[in-house]
Structure 1
């Protein structure tokens, strides 16, 4: 399962965590048509537990609000402007935006 961190987006004390050295967001947010995707969005700071909500994911991909995992098989081809919002138990929120590209091959 891949992991993505988006450290430059934060609000108050909630932060999308920085990815491992070899896991650039660009590499992790590229997939092929009908390829299985399992991507964990890591959140830190604030007060857990966290919930996540997503907008504009490619068709066929879904964001589990409790685990913050994007999974499924992308059906649409193109580049999608994805937006993810993490909320901590006190209601503090942070939002991250990033492109997700789905190609045929």
Structure 2
């Protein structure tokens, strides 16, 4: 869950950037929380100019840009942060299983 102080700052960032041409995404633990991973964030990480891996998540009445979790997994592996990378990989696999279960045959 995202602490209220983080949510307040995120709302300010979102309100300032949503109507601009700035290409931005939220990364790190805050992005993971927005995408459903249960963590406690220490900060809000933002990157710019990463269009290829950018996607939007609905969160608290905002459409927030985040990096794709598979891209984040690869980045964390390259940084040697294996524990966080494994958390991301497990979450991606869980999401994919849910997506497959939710599909019906035509």
TM-score calculated relative to the size of structure 2 = 0.27
Query: Relative contact order (alpha carbons < 8 A, sep ≥ 6): 1 or 2 greater?
Result: 1
Identify the structure with the greater helix proportion: 2
Higher strand share: 1
